[in-house]
Amino acid sequence: MDEVLRVLRMLKEGKLRREEAERLLAALGMGALEEGVRRWLRIEGGIARIEIRSAAGDEVSASGFGAGEVFLETCAEGGLLKIKTRGPKLLQRALRVEVSLPRDYGVELALGQGTLRAESLAGLKGELGTGKIEAAGIRALDLELGMGSARLGLLLKEGEHRLELGMGDVEIYALPGASFRVEGEAELGQVEERVFGEGLARLWVELGMGRLRVEP
């Protein structure tokens, strides 16, 4: 099994502390996910539609409309910013959140269901149970999507990155200046291996059932 995936899974299962995992990942060349991100914005909730746009300066803002509530919360450990969506589950599907975020912020997802549209993110990581992701200008990636689709414009230049999809379709394209190679495995089908630029970074793709399309 790939050593990077082994470390990430042990961290997720609680077999490694975060500090231990970070040391191992750094030794394996996966420091890029954290190095290019000044702070992470964590988005939590049941069902939400998220729109993220780049902003000048350091200001972070979020607004929501529809059912439920949206608020920013500062976490005690590390000053992590959070957006939480809450409200009656039957009405949450109508909730939309618009976020303005500096270019050196990353987004961490912890959503059960929803859609994400974003541009120029320093990093994208976390989990989305069911939904759709359209994001361009992503400079670091460690993402799990249970079922749905993703279209990702990547600007990876160094380190190890990961994308895991249980069921659905993924489209990947490289932005000018990117340098990465695509590798991976699929339970049904195959992962098309490609190299962009000098291939300095590596994107490992795990696909359960679906299709990975890598655009030229």
Helix (H) or strand (E) holding 32: helix 32-35
pTM: 0.77
Residue 50 and residue 17 share a domain: no
103-113 confidence digits (pLDDT tens): 888 888 888 88
Are residues 191 and 93 part of one domain? yes
Highest mean pLDDT among 2-6, 72-76, 97-101, 153-157: 153-157
Highest mean pLDDT among 21-30, 64-73, 131-140: 131-140
Q: Is 5 in the same domain as 87? A: no
Please indicate, yes or no, whether residues 24 and 43 belong to a single structural domain of this protein: no
Residue 106 and residue 158 in one domain: yes
Helix (H, G, I), strand (E, B) or coil at 24: helix
Cα 211 from Cα 209, distance rounded (Å): 7
Q: Determine the Cα–Cα distance for residues 178 and 167; give it in Å rounded to an integer.
A: 27
Same domain, 57 and 120: yes
Verify that 129 and 116 share a domain, yes or no: yes
> Would you tell me the crossing angle of helices 18-27 and 3-12 to the nearest 10 degrees?
170
In this structure, the answer to whether residues 76 and 107 fall within a common structural domain is yes
Same domain, 23 and 36: no
> What's the domain range around 2?
1-30
Whether 19 and 126 map to the same domain: the answer is no
How many structural domains compose the chain? 2
| Structural contact between residues 22 and 11, judged by C-beta atoms closer than 8 angstroms | no
pLDDT digits (tens, 9 = 90+) for 23-47: 776 665 545 555 578 788 888 777 7
Considering the domain architecture, whether residues 105 and 62 belong to the same structural domain is answered as yes
In terms of domains, do 17 and 40 share one?
Answer: no
